[in-house]
Amino acid sequence: MSPWLAERRDLAAQSNALLPVPTLTDEHWRFTSLRGIDFDAFQPVAAPAPGEIAGAILADGDHAGRVVVRDGGAVVDELSEAVTAQGVAFGSIRRLAEERPELVEPLLGTIVGYDEKFAAENGALWTDGVLLHVPAGVRVAEPFHVAYEIATEGAAQQWRALIVVEEGAEATIVEEHLTGLPGYANGVAEVVVGAAGHLTYVVVQDRGDAALHFAAHRAEIAKDGLLDWVACSTGARTGKTRMETRLTGEGATGRLSGVYVVDDKRHLDLDTTQEHDAPNAVSDLAFKGVLLDEARSVWRGVIRVAAGAQGTDSYQENRNLLLSPKARADSIPGLEIDTNDVRCTHGATAGPVDPMLRFYLMSRGVPEAEANRVIVEGFLEEALERIPDERIRTALTEHVMRRIPS
């Protein structure tokens, strides 16, 4: 291992050793209990079985490159020749940290630090994941596809991603966390959108019924850059995802869309930030959730506007449909504003399907069950319609609607 990487792992390990496992008294963990989880029961699996994946939602069609990380390592690591010729680097981050350290060393661990328990643990223990580096001015039309899968029961998967779209570059990356065996996943994704760059980042969390899923995704967007970020969650027993956006350059835009359908006794916790550190930036967050059975969701979102970030335009909304009396959704919006001349708005709701709206549909001849589905789909559509790529939009719509009983 390169000395710089060993050093960084050391730093993270030291932090990890000092940080306790969070409890309900920690502000960010008020609604998500980790009690009773035996983290030591999950062990890294170093040598994964090779082969193709099953159960991916967005793997069909042409891709600029594909990586499959199974348990602890990449089992598929491909980049198309055309995209290689464009100067794009994409593939296993374990491999590329050795082969192209100049792309990894300057950024790894600088966007998501080691001051939080799970991020620190990941910084010390990550085994593989993805690097995407799109050089300035390069535009890649086809999406990159990444899948993370737990294929060994009880495996701990520590994945790591670094995604960089340089000045004026454009790319789409799809990241799927797949259904698989019971296990523990903990990951960190660091995302950089350069000046006037444009990244579409689609994250699907569809881990297995008994899986634990922890992730910290953090993006920085430079001047006039655009990040179109779509998060879709349907899986895991307990999941906690940080999804943080920092607008570092004037005129940057973050469009943050979330769709989740949570059933059974799943617990999904989403922690978002919209950090405005530059003037005249725009962030627009819309998360829509459907809760079934005894499922529970927590969304905690904060808009932070630094002094000097005049002209900020920031919006956040979280709306939830409760399809069962035992389902529950908590929304905790927050504003921290240190400047004048900003426009920040938020909204949060949770409730059952409006019986009057259902009556309206039924009065047109539509049976009750179908009316409910149409209302749910229409409700989610308002977030799904923000997905720029039609193929991805259609596949995700079908995926989430499969979770709605008919």
Partner 1 sequence: MADLVIRNLHATIAGTDTEILKGIDLEMSRGEIHAIMGPNGSGKSTLSHVLMGHPGYEVTAGEVTFMGEDLLELEADERSRAGLFLSFQYPFAVPGVTVANFIRMAVNAHRKGGPDGEDDPIRIPEFRKQLQEAMELLAIDKSMSSRSLNDGFSGGEKKRFEILQMAMLKPKIAILDETDSGLDIDALRIVSGGINQLVGPDMGALIITHYQRILDHVKPDRIHVLMDGRIVRSGGPELAYELETSGYAGITEEVSA
Least gap, CB of 347 to partner 1 (angstroms): 14
Q: Give the footprint of partner 1 on this chain (CB under 8 A).
A: 355-357, 359-371, 374-375, 377-382, 385
Least gap, CB of 123 to partner 1 (angstroms): 41
* Dihedral of alpha carbons 22, 24, 25, 29, sign: positive
Least gap, CB of 369 to partner 1 (angstroms): 7
Q: Rounded to the nearest 5 degrees, what angle is found at the Cα of 20, between the Cα atoms of 19 and 26?
A: 105
* CB closer to partner 1, 41 vs 369: 369
Cβ atoms of residues 116 and 124 within 8 Å: no
* CB closer to partner 1, 336 vs 368: 368
In the chain the first and final C-alpha atoms are separated, in Å, by 53
* CB closer to partner 1, 325 vs 365: 365
* CB closer to partner 1, 120 vs 259: 259
* CB closer to partner 1, 35 vs 364: 364
Count of H-run helices and E-run strands, the chain = 8, 20
Beta pairing class for 89-92 and 128-134 = antiparallel
Distant-in-sequence, close-in-space partners of 94: CB < 8 Å, separation ≥ 6: 73, 74, 127, 128, 129
Query: Can you spell out the DSSP letters for 210-246?
Result: T-EEEEEEEEEE-TT-EEEEEEEE---SEEEEEEEEE
* CB closer to partner 1, 229 vs 379: 379
* CB closer to partner 1, 30 vs 399: 399
Least gap, CB of 243 to partner 1 (angstroms): 23
Q: What are phi and psi of 122, to 5 degrees?
A: -65, -40
Least gap, CB of 265 to partner 1 (angstroms): 28
Least gap, CB of 359 to partner 1 (angstroms): 6
Whole-number Cα distances in Å, 86 to 64, 83, 139, 170, 402: 11, 5, 9, 12, 38
Beta pairing class for 65-70 and 73-79 = antiparallel
Least gap, CB of 357 to partner 1 (angstroms): 5
Least gap, CB of 393 to partner 1 (angstroms): 13
* CB closer to partner 1, 159 vs 379: 379
Q: Rounded to the nearest 5 degrees, what angle is found at the Cα of 211, between the Cα atoms of 207 and 217?
A: 60
